[in-house]
Amino acid sequence: MWENVFQAIDEQYEKMVETRRHLHQYPEVSFQEVKTAQFIADTYEKLGIPYESHIGGNGVIARMEGGKPGKTVALRADFDALPIQEENEVPYKSKNDGAMHACGHDGHTAALLGLAEALVPHKEELPGTIVFLHQHAEEYAPGGAKPIVESGALNDVDAVFGTHLWVNAPTGVIQTSKGAFMAGADRFEIKVQGKGGHGAQPHQTKDAIVIASQLVSSLQQIVSRRIDPLKTAVLTVGTFESGTTFNVIADSATLTGTVRTFDPEVQTLIIEEMEKIIKGTCEANSADYEFIYEKGYPPVVNHPEEADLVLQHAHKADASLRTEEVEPVMAGEDFAYYLLDKPGTFYFTGAQIPDHYYPHHHPKFDFDEKALPHAAKTLFQTFISYQDS
């Protein structure tokens, strides 16, 4: 029944690529996406689709009311970049130093805008209302999803769906789960204050590097020895900053890292155990410390019925697509806030380049642009499937 719409999406392919590459060249990091938001708003202005800007910050929301009665469904795409210097040598390489679309958000935006343009001639055929939800600041907590929900802009929405271009899966594969899908993502910072001194007189110092090194090692025992092995958790120390020169013992050191969990009880236990280890280690070495723990995005927990719509109906959008029900991943996503507020599902759209595999957030990250229509088609198919559910 909707073959004409899927064909229209295919016809948008070159435009989607053009849009994606334009956005890729001019990335803006979280909470600074002013020009990107304006580009999105200008696109809807040209398409004649009503929209609102500055939702929850830099968010942009457009609405297309179909000609037939039905449900209101939001389809989400994020559009912020990362503070990364791009290392790809491609014609569309980032022109903004220190900023890069290293996670595919430029593709998410291009796919949703392409879908919107493809649907304009078919507006009267559509049941219900499509809400094109363009979200800022996914990459950095507190994120953009929470303030968008709190703004009330989605109060009338019946369900929310979103997809993430995923280079860990081959192009043509759609992945999701009927429950926990992505982990809660927290951040911590540990500051160790010792006593510096001459490198030749360690007995007169409280070596912050040695103390912080003990913490790096000891903290790893929380997951391996203090968490039920049937539970899932990750504790990663990502940065270690200390010292100024080779022959001086540092007086201070700072560690930062992340904790990923699905279970609130596990999260609480990790925080408690971290505090014990940090306090004990520093006291044993007569050093002071500061422990800052920031709870970030909650876990992404899909609603089973909505996840089943993706798994059972995605192939209707394109016969070449296949779906997989997968285990959760430890990456985090603020799409979680939408799912705490409304029914819905988040899923991955495979976008792996076989001869150019670099993970998300890598300076050489890139994705297969042939996945753009897959993302647009499956989002539309999910909208249609939800109307019939």
CATH number at residue 321: 3.40.630.10
Q: How confident is the model at residue 313 (pLDDT cuts 50, 70, 90)?
A: very high
Range of the domain at 274: 184-296
Query: Do 143 and 45 share a domain, yes or no?
Result: yes
Q: Report the distance separating Cα 44 and Cα 4, nearest Å.
A: 22
pLDDT at 198 over 90: yes
pLDDT digits (tens, 9 = 90+) for 85-107: 999 999 999 999 999 999 999 99
pLDDT digits (tens, 9 = 90+) for 121-150: 999 999 999 999 999 999 999 999 999 999
Query: Do 284 and 311 share a domain, yes or no?
Result: no
Query: Do 218 and 132 share a domain, yes or no?
Result: no
Query: Between β-strands 173-176 and 322-325, what pairing exists: parallel, antiparallel or unpaired?
Result: parallel
How many domains does the structure of the chain reveal? 2
Start-to-end C-alpha separation, the chain: 16
Q: Report the distance separating Cα 328 and Cα 181, nearest Å.
A: 4
Distance of CA 377 to the CA centre of its chain: 21
pLDDT at 181 over 90: yes
Query: Do 334 and 291 share a domain, yes or no?
Result: no
Query: Do 194 and 228 share a domain, yes or no?
Result: yes
Residues 225-231 have a mean pLDDT of 96
Query: Do 42 and 123 share a domain, yes or no?
Result: yes
Residue 164 assigned to a binding site = yes
Q: How confident is the model at residue 47 (pLDDT cuts 50, 70, 90)?
A: very high
Residues 170-184 have a mean pLDDT of 98
Q: Do residues 309 and 323 make contact, with C-beta atoms less than 8 angstroms apart?
A: no
* Final residue before a domain boundary, out of 251, 270, 296: 296
* Final residue before a domain boundary, out of 296, 315, 342: 296
Question: Mean pLDDT, the chain, as a whole number?
Answer: 98
Q: Report the distance separating Cα 137 and Cα 119, nearest Å.
A: 27
Say what the pTM is. Answer: 0.94
- For 306-368, give the DSSP string: HHHHHHHHGGGT-TT-EEEE---BS---TTHHHHHHS-EEEEEEEEE-TT----TT-TT----
Query: Do 166 and 202 share a domain, yes or no?
Result: no
Query: Do 39 and 113 share a domain, yes or no?
Result: yes
Q: Which two tokens stand for residue 164?
A: 């993430």
Instruction: Using the structure block, give the residue that is written with the tokens 């001869």.
Output: 355
What strand order describes the sheet that includes 288-297?
Answer: 233-242, 252-261, 184-193, 288-297
Q: Which two tokens stand for residue 103?
A: 């996670």
* Final residue before a domain boundary, out of 243, 261, 296: 296
Q: What are phi and psi of 71, to 5 degrees?
A: -90, 160
Residue 1's pLDDT is: 83
Query: Do 19 and 35 share a domain, yes or no?
Result: yes
The SS3 call for residue 103 is coil
Residues 328-337 have a mean pLDDT of 97
Say what percent of the chain tops pLDDT 90.
100
Query: Do 96 and 241 share a domain, yes or no?
Result: no
pLDDT digits (tens, 9 = 90+) for 50-68: 999 999 999 999 999 999 9
Residues 203-225 have a mean pLDDT of 97
Q: Which residues are catalytic?
A: 80, 138
CATH number at residue 240: 3.30.70.360
Residue 213's pLDDT is: 98
Q: How confident is the model at residue 81 (pLDDT cuts 50, 70, 90)?
A: very high
pLDDT at 332 over 90: yes
